[in-house]
Chain A
């Protein structure tokens, strides 16, 4: 037994649902990783464009304009669902969490349906030239991230509704909203690259 000066922390709260949580920072760091990857893909798009005279290559139709624009609007709107859910998580409002995340998923699924429709109409594949490779890579990887996040959002809805609802789930909902903001935000430059790229840096 030794006499020591002490700092009592028993009055501090458990599991703060905010950017003070280590998990929030872990999520930010994962967004750094994904963000760097997408930035490199954008750089690759324009690098590859420098190598050829005609962009997009002959025979490739220009991408749809209307559907992706609506899709982008829907994705931005779906952030409202994430925001509602994460604010509800901070206030420990179970109904708000579920409602917000369902809104998020529904709008995101509608956006994905539009993306699929526009994607389906392309007359080129990943193996028809470097233009096809890079545009497919961007779209495939972003869609993969979006689908993965939606699956885990649904899992959180399930946990919040039927599972071990508690501060861990609430923290999960909060950082899930951060992931979603990131995925939507990074889609803006990706969208500009894939759908406006051929117009901005294209040449017949």
Chain B
């Protein structure tokens, strides 16, 4: 490839190119156009908005639980309703909020940051979104028809098996998993392919923005972790319940513990699937707002990769109380402590970045600092729980509840909120209100600690998880009341945040292309970006291309603009290899998801619907592949 530094400077006329791109990337008119969109900005935004709606639902469920537990012998909810609500709360937050919102942010941001026009497989992207929406609606249909799952978000056998959970509640849960996992795997495959093959020319491995590294690592984790939950929920649980297989029936040679192994082989990496994108967000916010390059880029990337690897070797620490051999458990203790090294490297690199940078304390930075505080606390209880004696003592108590809310809310939700404030200008063209943003941060931060810190104490005092009420003589009242008050403070913070979003979306200050003076490509596009992102695809001349002088930047020419053409580059060095035409709008992703749904939901009630579903899905895929002769592509 020609060295980028030697290319000649020419006068580029944007207008004709812009007009052609507007035409070739236009959406079809009307409702049909809305349903057949395949551009990543539209689908990413839909993912994010949908996920936030599910966050609200999950939050309301949390408030109901806190109301029920506010004092001893309370009867806001019956035991049965409480079981359904905590299960749906956990399932919503994990499968319908945390993973999809991270995927949605990735779908929106990754192509922009890499300097390309769309994800590698735009129709697959749309299909994944529709599957996710249908799966989420299916779970809530269950909850509202008193068919909500009531066996915890991990649905352990034998409780969830045919013997102890008759009815359709568990099947609804298991099939919701199928929908959301299909969605997550679609996004993972397309994002990984996009990061590997569709980067800007010149963007070698050591110039990939940290956030894109995080999404690549997360995507690869999804590819190896999610099949396990498909095996657990679908091959195990559903077939045991519907056609009488015996995977978890000890009387016929099966083993309920096997379910736990397979579930946690997914379940532990799942935590990192949520957490690693958040690490990428923190790095992006950090370098922009410390106004310097991120400290220790190679160490940061390697520790991301190390986290992903070690994350697959921890699953048994969820099963310390199951009576597995001690020597095996000791290995998982060591691995659990080892992962703190990888996380620690990241934390220290961020501290060094802040130490040597000039910090701008905006709302996003507040959330990032809040993240470091809360996540370090969650990490410390994590190291404590990795020790088997302590784990046996507090297993299944509120200590564990406190720990994982510190890790997940601190480790994922705070960075996400920070990222939302950081990129809101890019998403909508307007800035979030800073004073309101900082106020909502402080309310959320105080509310969070008020809610979850007392749970450590409750757990040490012996309050177990998933109990719908307790007796007054246990002495758990004050801490529980404090937690309930905290939950409503969090809710107030949430209302402030939503108010800020609505207000800023309508009347916020115009953002301009690069309001924070960031260095990565997403800020070279207009705010909000046009469907094609860039008139001329950019080339990467450094790790922070927008921090180089304008005369040193390079634009890619020679791509045809009358069709959706993009550039494919090499994996290692980002050298241009060939041109590629992405598909346009299509209604088939939606049709295929509906056809698949018929089989998946039907099979909850009668297994034979699977076969119908397979036939219908085949028809849908053939329709998807069918194409009229593309006159402008020579064979």
A25, B197: Cβ atoms closer than 8 Å = yes
Complex A-B: 12 CB contacts under 8 Å? A4-B9, A4-B553, A5-B8, A5-B10, A6-B7, A14-B578, A20-B197, A40-B262, A130-B255, A133-B246, A165-B635, A168-B630
B contact residues around A6 at 8 Å (CB): 7-10, 12, 536, 554-557
Closest to A26 in B: B193
Contact B568 A44 (CB under 8 A): no
Name the B residues within 8 Å of A1 (CB-CB).
Answer: 11-14
Bound CA–CA A159/B623 (angstroms): 12
- B190 on the A face (CB < 8 A): yes
Contact B627 A16 (CB under 8 A): no
Contacts of B185 in A (CB 8 A): 33
Contact with A along B455-471 (1 / 0, CB 8 A): 00000000000000000
Interchain CA distance A152-B190 in the complex, whole Å: 20
Residue of B nearest to A17 (CB): B578
A30 at the interface (CB under 8 A from B): yes
Q: Which 4 A-B residue pairs are closest in the complex by CB-CB distance?
A: A10-B558, A130-B253, A133-B245, A127-B244
Say yes or no for A48: interface residue by CB 8 A criterion. Answer: yes
Is the pair A29, B10 in contact by a Cβ cutoff of 8 Å?
no
B528 contacts chain A at the CB level, 8 A cutoff: no
Instruction: Let me know if A99 is at the binding interface, CB within 8 A.
Output: no
Indicate if the CB atoms of B192 and A164 lie closer than 8 Å: no
| Of B121, B265, B635, the contact of A166 (CB 8 Å cutoff) | B635
Q: How close is B192's CB to chain A, nearest CB, in angstroms?
A: 6
Tell me the chain B residues, 504-554 only, with Cβ under 8 Å from chain A. 536, 539, 551-554
Task: Say yes or no for B206: interface residue by CB 8 A criterion.
Answer: no
Mark each residue of chain A from 119 to 155: 1 if its CB lies under 8 Å from any CB of chain B, else 0.
0000000110111111011000100100010011001
Q: Mark B27-66, 1 if CB is under 8 A from A, else 0.
A: 0000000000000000000000000000000000000000
Which residues of B238-258 are within 8 A (CB) of A? 239, 243-247, 249-250, 252-255, 258
Q: Could you list 7 further interchain pairs (A-B, Cβ under 8 angstroms) beyond the known A11-B558, A23-B193, A36-B223?
A: A1-B13, A3-B12, A5-B551, A40-B262, A44-B231, A48-B258, A141-B235
Q: Which residue from A14, A25, A48, A170 sits with its C-beta under 8 Å from B193? A: A25
Enumerate chain A residues within 8 angstroms of B197, measured Cβ to Cβ: 20-22, 25
| A66 neighbours in B (Cβ, 8 Å) | none
Closest CB-CB distance, A183 to chain B, in whole Å? 15
Contact A33 B557 (CB under 8 A): no
- 0/1 string, A51-92, CB within 8 A of B gives 1: 110000100000000000000000000000000000000001
**B208 CB to nearest chain A CB (Å):** 16
Q: Are B553 and A9 in contact (CB under 8 A)?
A: no
B residues near A (Cβ < 8 Å) are 2, 4, 7-14, 120-121, 124, 185, 188-190, 192-194, 196-198, 201, 220, 223-224, 226-228, 230-231, 235, 239, 243-247, 249-250, 252-255, 258, 261-262, 265, 536, 539, 551-559, 567-568, 570, 576-581, 614, 618, 621-622, 625-630, 633-635
List, in ascending order, chain A residues with CB within 8 A of B629's CB. Answer: 164, 166
Complex interface: chain A residues within 8 A of B258 (CB)? 44, 47-48
Contact A5 B578 (CB under 8 A): no
| A54 CB to nearest B CB, Å | 9
* In the bound complex, CA of A5 to CA of B246 (Å): 66
Check if A15 sits within 8 Å of B239, measured CB to CB. Answer: no
Q: Chain A residues near B261 (CB, 8 Å)?
A: 47
Chain B residues in 8 Å Cβ range of A172:
625
B193 proximity list for chain A (CB < 8 A): 22-23, 25-26, 29
Residue of B with least CB distance to A37: B227
Taking a contact as CB atoms under 8 Å apart, the answer to whether A20 and B577 are in contact is yes
Q: How far is the CA of A13 from the CA of B253 in the complex (A)?
A: 58
A127 partner residues in chain B, CB cutoff 8 A:
243-246
Quick check: B635 and A92 within 8 Å, CB to CB? yes
Q: Collect the chain B residues with CB atoms within 8 Å of residue A152's CB.
A: 621, 625
Q: Does chain B have a CB within 8 A of A194? A: no
Q: How far is the CA of A22 from the CA of B122 in the complex (A)?
A: 12
A200 within 8 Å of B by Cβ?
A: no
Residues of B contacting A13 with CB < 8 Å? 578-579
CB <8 Å contact, A15 and B555: no
Those of A146-204 within 8 Å (CB) of chain B: 148, 151-152, 155, 159, 163-168, 170, 172
Chain B residues near A155: list those with CB within 8 A: 622, 625
Size bracket of the A interface: 35 or more
In angstroms, how far is the closest chain B Cβ from the Cβ of A130? 4
Given the interface pairs A9-B567, A166-B630, the reply to whether A3 lies near B254 with Cβ below 8 Å is: no
Docked complex Cα distance between A188 and B260 (Å)? 28
Q: Is A164 within 8 A of B628, CB to CB?
A: yes
Question: Which of B4, B224, B228, B635 interacts with A7 by CB under 8 Å?
Answer: B4
Most-contacted residue by chain B among A37, A131, A172 (CB, 10 A): A37
Contact between B239 and A133 (Cβ–Cβ < 8 Å)?
A: yes
Q: When the two chains form their complex, are residues A3 and B11 in contact, meaning their CB atoms are under 8 A apart? A: yes
- B618 is contacted by which of A11, A16, A151 (Cβ under 8 Å)? A151
Question: How distant is the Cα of A112 from the Cα of B372 in the complex, in angstroms?
Answer: 56
Q: A146 to B402, alpha carbons, bound, how many Å?
A: 47
Closest to B556 in A: A7
CA A48 to CA B258, docked complex, whole Å: 8
Chain B residue numbers with a CB within 8 Å of A12 are 558, 567, 576-579
> Which partner residue on chain B sits nearest A40 by CB separation?
B231
| A163 CB, nearest partner CB in chain B, Å | 8
Contact B576 A48 (CB under 8 A): no
A148 / chain B contacts, CB cutoff of 8 Å: 614, 618
The docked-state distance in angstroms from the alpha carbon of A2 to that of B553 is 12
Cβ-defined contact, A25 with B577, below 8 A:
no
Assembled-state Cα–Cα distance A59/B536 (Å) = 70
Q: Is the CB of B239 within 8 A of A126?
A: yes
Are B7 and A7 touching (Cβ within 8 A)?
yes
Is B243 touching A130 in the complex (CB atoms < 8 A)? no
A16 to chain B, nearest CB (A): 4
Q: How long is the Cα–Cα vector from A23 to B183 in the complex, in angstroms?
A: 18
Whether B121 lies near A3 (C-beta < 8 A) is no
